[in-house]
Amino acid sequence: MSANKPKYNKQVSAKKPKVVTTLPVKKSESFNFSSSSKELKYGIVAGILILTFWCYHYSLHNQFLNWDDGLYVFGNKYLKNLTWENLKMILFHSITPSNYHPLTMLSLAINWHFSHNSPPLYYLTNIFIHMANIILVFLLVTKLCERIVSYSPQAAKHKLFIASFCALWFAVHPMHVESISWVSERKDVLYAFFYLLGLIAYLRYTENKTSTILGIKVSTNGWYGITFLLFLLSCLSKPMAVSFPLIMFTIDFLLGRKWERKIITEKMLFLACSIFFGLVAYRIQKESGAVADFHTINLPDRILFTFYGFNMYLVRLFYPVHLNAFAPYPNLQPGVTLPMLFYIMPIATLLLWAVPFYFKWKKMDALFRVTLFGLSFYFLNVVFVLQFISCGDAIIADRYTYTAYFGPVFAIIYLANECMIAIPAIKNWLIGLLAALSVMFAVLCEARTKVWHNPETFWSDVIVKSDMHSQLPYLNLGNYFVDSGKYEKSYPEYSLLARLGMKDGGVYRNLAMIYGLHHQYDSSLYCFSKAIEYDSTNASIYTNRAITYANMGKFDLALKDFNKAYLLDTTKNLALEQRAGMLTQLEQFKDAVNDYNKLIMREPKELSFYLQRGNALLDGGNPEAATHDYLYLLELQPDNGTAMYNLSIAYDKLRDEKNALNYAVKATQNKVQVPADYLIRLQKLVSH
């Protein structure tokens, strides 16, 4: 029996404990998402692009918004003609009130050259650039997975899975709709294009070897130069690109590059340019009034706003519902405390940053590096817009996540992949969860594009999701209705703003016009008085009050207001035209003709001025001069029956009955009602 006893070695060779760098891998680790097939890669990317176009196709029906689109496109005179002078202004000056982004403005100028005021091409361009960015995200994630193989071999093996979901979430996340379905946010998609391309170039640079692109050999220094060029182009598209050199450091950390002097010195040029573009952006925004005085919001509130923004963007990464394109600051009136949510945010932030260090403590080096990289990438891309330095009217804005979400999404999908490898039993559940989230994102994204259809749908959505202490949504919605000729629909917005005590001359002017349309002249004149109280130098207020006085038959008061409007702004034609018409009614024909002379000198192609001046000359006893205006008008508008009839009267006064009859007959042929007795009289005179 004893001979059959197994023998045990008394000495066991010591083995060095193995450091766990990822989640422990079980034998049945295989996750069948092969990355070996090019056809599969192309098919996945093509499918994502098709889904993206479906999500954003409704944007092709969208209109311009009355929220920056006028400043960026249809109201920007430098975009209207691609002359050398305009190009110099676009490239070397800030032609929008609060930003310097010449490449963005140049791209919009090219859009204007081909489509002018027609919005579809602008949106199509945004969609195409976004689709290009999706491809870049796919390539960047693939490259990152390949480069971290030294400590995470599973990432390289499953790079197609990780890259596919990262690209998919980037493509259809509802938080990105603002950057694509708003023409003014062309700067987001354009700067991200150069930014992502620059990061890919930087990865090539860190390989420290010559590589080939498009058949051209590029050295390490060559890749450095390409990276810097792409960084500059990104900064010239939007100042948020100043985070680029900081992101270079996070990539160094992710790749495990050795920390030495070169790591710092190679980025000095990038950092210097970031500081330069950052200071330029701050100066422009400060001069435009976009940056609030530091004493407007106290320091504790600024700190809380910073933590709030940092966390809320991450919350909306997973729960992108009830999105509000204009999320105003909370009520900061004296005696009003911030909601409890703001005080919880610092704690949430500390817990979030503790996650990667927990992995470090557990000696999960790969998870430590990836999660810290993801959080750092996100933080460094939003840190300048977390409202510690208050800029703009919104506390958070969806567009700021367009590039920033790359970091946390990469970390999340990487972590999901590691979990599926380590715990095969949950693989199907996790894939189902990721797929469900992707479907939810796509559905919400497509629905969100319809919110941006036009100013009415956009501001109505904002109003539903906001409280009344923010007045801008009501103002812009009311202005849109007025600009569209829908005066009745603007009344609820303007009357609400008046009740809220908004001190805006334009609000009261438009209210006054609405009351005037209903012949409620006392209310109209009261609102005009309030408008002048808040904006006494606005010529349009006096012009519109003058029109109201004219409708009331108070022509002397109307003329006084027209004179005031013209004195305030001699470049505006409306006051001058209305005054000329009023002078004609008051039979002050000489002054009326003088006004029409000025109008014709300014706008010689406006044919109505010739008709009106002819009428003033005719009524003022100068029929011969009137005939010249009528004949000139008829050369350009041969079927203008009104000009024919008035010319007939002028010839009649000149005792030229033949021409008078000729043009009277022509007027009747052009559907102008000429008195029968006038025709009979002329016919008798001609026949004799």
Decide if 401 contacts 309 (C-beta within 8 A): no
Q: At residue 31, does pLDDT exceed 70?
A: no
Amino acid 14: pLDDT: 41
| Range with lowest mean pLDDT among 47-56, 196-205, 327-336, 441-450 | 327-336
Amino acid 524: pLDDT: 92
C-alpha closest to that of 592 among 575, 580, 608, 574: 580
> Which residues, other chains included, contact 61 with Cβ-Cβ below 8 Å and sequence gap of 6+?
120, 453
State the sign of the Cα–Cα–Cα–Cα dihedral 187, 188, 191, 193.
negative
C-alpha closest to that of 473 among 462, 488, 484: 462
Decide if 665 contacts 683 (C-beta within 8 A): no
* Residues 438-465, mean pLDDT to the nearest whole number: 94
Question: pLDDT tens-digit profile of 656-687?
Answer: 989 989 999 999 998 889 898 988 898 888 88
Cα–Cα distance measured from residue 242 to residue 232, given in angstroms and rounded to the nearest whole number = 9
Beta bridge partners of 96: 99
Amino acid 253: pLDDT: 94
C-alpha closest to that of 540 among 564, 556, 522: 564
Q: At residue 593, does pLDDT exceed 50?
A: yes
Amino acid 579: pLDDT: 86
Cα–Cα distance measured from residue 539 to residue 543, given in angstroms and rounded to the nearest whole number = 6
C-alpha closest to that of 334 among 363, 361, 306, 296: 296
Amino acid 210: pLDDT: 82
CA dihedral 279, 280, 284, 289 (to 10 degrees): -10
Mean pLDDT of the chain: 87
Most confident of the following: 125-139, 472-486, 527-541: 125-139
Cβ neighbours, 10 Å, residue 214: 5
Amino acid 12: pLDDT: 38
Question: pLDDT tens-digit profile of 287-323?
Answer: 766 666 656 677 888 888 889 999 999 999 999 999 9
Q: How confident is the model at residue 37 (pLDDT cuts 50, 70, 90)?
A: confident
Cα–Cα distance measured from residue 1 to residue 8, given in angstroms and rounded to the nearest whole number = 16
Question: pLDDT tens-digit profile of 545-574?
Answer: 988 998 888 888 988 888 888 888 877 788
Residue 248, both tokens: 């270079």
In the chain, how long is the greatest CA-to-CA distance?
A: 156
Q: CA-CA distances (angstroms) from residue 14 to 59, 116, 559, 631?
A: 67, 78, 105, 112
Amino acid 646: pLDDT: 92
CA angle (401, 406, 409) in 5-degree steps: 105
CA angle (103, 107, 110) in 5-degree steps: 140
Decide if 320 contacts 173 (C-beta within 8 A): yes
Enclosing H/E stretch for 395: strand 394-396
